[in-house]
Amino acid sequence: MPTTSVHDLKTLILSFHAVIAIETLEEQRVADLLQVVARETGLRFYDWTITQGLVRRPEGQAGEAIANSSGPLELLNSIAAGAGQGNSSQGNSSQGNSGTGIFLLKDFGKHLKDPTVIRKLRELSQRFSQTPSALVITGSSLELSDELEAVYYTLEMPTRDELYEMLQAVVRSLNTQQKIKIDLDAQALGEILKALQGMTLNQARQIIAYAALTDNRLSREDIEDIQARKIKFLQEGGLLEYYPPQDNSSEIGGFSNLKAWVKRAQVGFSAEAQSLNLTPPKGILIVGVQGCGKSLAAKIIARDWQLPLLKLDAGRLYDKYVGESEKNLRRATAMAAAMAPAVLWLDELEKGFSPPSESNDGGTSQRMFGTFLTWLQEKKEAVFVVATANDLSKLPPELMRKGRFDEIFFVDLPDAAARKVIFEIHLDRRKQDSSQFDLQLLVNQSAGFSGAEIEQAVVAALYRALHLNLPLNTAILQEEVNSTVPLSVSCREDIEALRAFAQERFVSAE
């Protein structure tokens, strides 16, 4: 059980915080934490659902239901009838006075639209503010009245210790039904626990049970399957996309300056840096011409550092309900923090954080922007942020000042040397021998092309060669290059304005 969470909740309760709100789906995890707090404080522990009513939960014993406590108002009346009767060593009948204690109220927020329930809860919380007892309200989404003076507690993602305890518990439970062989050395165990980071305890429990029951064995061979199921859970959650280090084989041409900076920054994750009280690097912002490899740079950094890559699509965060967008952002950053060390990739940042002055969404963008800046500034976990942007006019100026990111890089159109490497990468990737092409000719004729435009020319030329039933050659590829109108021509004014603005203000990636 995580000592930090237990300590935090214990401190809140002993400091007379009568109403504690925890937004989470992990009800059992909250119950387990509160059970430990109850034991350490000597308080009784109860939980309530509208289907079972109020149930006393002595540790290690079956629950005892309290009569006439199913409805929300009945529940509060039942608690009030026993309030002030003492701690767990006092009081006798579970059918009579419930006594003071810790009361976990599941999904209770849905009942707080009734003025009578709100009034009764306020009265009860006022009485509890004089004694170390608490009403803990949980639910997937909570909107409590300010009149309740509730304190919101953020339940962090499960720690490594919690995941290890869960793994042991799952194996013990499965072994009561059929024998599960554990074949894990310390390194393999560490890799499994790392693979589970960022999951809720219930998700991690399901993944471990599935892996163990597949062949009645838990071993190093299960790591790949655990990673695959983790990706599935994250995709279903819809906030983050997960790219394991072993699946990242990205390549990029040019970017020599950025690559050198990244190599130096990697030492920030080392034990030597920590011994000097140096925090890990926060991240970088990459701005520049579309199609020139800004997004690919995030993959390259994760590959070189052998870290998982997490992609956050800002568009997925927005929700039509007030407050839900900010909650989605907090959930996404909490998941990223739980999987640290990791690289968090925010693509096209301007689409998620438009300037507050232009916002017509009721202030959602402004609140999202503030939440992100606060997290970026204060995060302690080794989550390296790689943000990309195409349209600088839509980026808030506060985001680009020094200190928000470790560095801001400008990505220009690739020069001749970079274009040669890009041709080689895309030809070789598609099983073409790049040495058999006149690359210098292609480089000369592709001046002003972005990396994406070079890739598309190679792809289109291959389709043309297949249609002609001929092997791809320089002439076919040259014809495709010559028929392409690059962005540097079709949007010349915009590109030139961007280059003039950025070259004076940001560090070149080349």
pLDDT at residue 1 in the model: 59
260 residue type, one letter: A
pLDDT of 361 reads 59
464 and 476 in contact (C-beta within 8 Å)? yes
Task: Write down the pTM of the prediction.
Answer: 0.75
Give residue-wise pLDDT tens across range 138-184. 988 787 877 788 999 988 888 888 899 999 989 888 887 778 888 88
Quick: pLDDT tens for 435-445.
999 999 999 99
Q: Do domains 247-411 and 416-490 have the same CATH topology?
A: no
User: With bands split at pLDDT 50, 70 and 90, how would you rate the model's confidence at 454?
Assistant: very high
Q: What is the DSSP letter of 440?
A: H
pLDDT at residue 397, as a whole number: 78
In eight-state DSSP terms, residue 399 is G
| pLDDT at residue 351, rounded to an integer | 76
Helix axes 27-41, 3-14, angle to 10 degrees: 60
The CATH architecture that domain 160-237 belongs to is: Orthogonal Bundle (1.10)
CATH architecture of 416-490: Orthogonal Bundle (1.10)
Dihedral of alpha carbons 176, 179, 183, 188, sign: negative
Closest Cα to residue 142, out of 29, 4, 25? 25
Assign domain 3-152 to a CATH class.
Answer: alpha beta
Superfamily name and number for 247-411 = P-loop containing nucleotide triphosphate hydrolases (3.40.50.300)
User: Can you give the residue ranges of every domain in the chain?
Assistant: 3-152, 160-237, 247-411, 416-490
Distances (CA, A) of 35 to 106, 441, 466, 470: 15, 73, 68, 73
pLDDT tens figures, 369-395: 888 888 888 888 889 999 998 877 777
